[in-house]
Amino acid sequence: MILKKKEFRNSKNLHNNISAILNKYNGLFCPVFGEIFGIAAFVRKSIDIIDFGDITIFENKSFSFWDDIGEDHTRKAQWLKLKSTNGEFMVVNVHGHWTGKGKSDDDDRIKQSEKIVNFLG
């Protein structure tokens, strides 16, 4: 399946479209803001998915998708416990807190890192 640029960009079912293309992988969608957007991981079907979930690493309850006020939305870390022929392992997928001010750390970014470290601890 080949998606045209317009179809890809406007797709309400982006995860489903990508899953159809990556048919040798299991797609796991982690909603971050309602069902509008989130993060996803794609795991080769030859790798067993033992467990998966997410943790909130940054929360902004006042974020509105419809108001472009330059604030960041809630952020999650998606985790997957997997098993291959080499044993069990964990993958963590993070799209961290955005400030619009570059890559420098701030208090919220430090806190999100601490939450991830504590979760993995």
Res. 65: pLDDT tops 70: no
Res. 63: pLDDT tops 60: yes
5-44 confidence digits (pLDDT tens)? 454 443 457 888 888 999 999 999 988 877 667 889 999 9
How distant, in Å, are the alpha carbons of 60, 99, 114, 121 from that of 108? 11, 9, 10, 20
Q: Please state, in angstroms and rounded to a whole number, the distance separating the CA atoms of residues 32 and 113.
A: 18
Sequence spans of domains, the chain: 5-120
**Which value, in Å, is the radius of gyration of the alpha carbons in the chain?**
16
Candidates 3.60.10.10, 3.90.1480.20, 3.40.630.10, 3.40.50.300; CATH matching 5-120:
3.60.10.10
pTM: 0.79
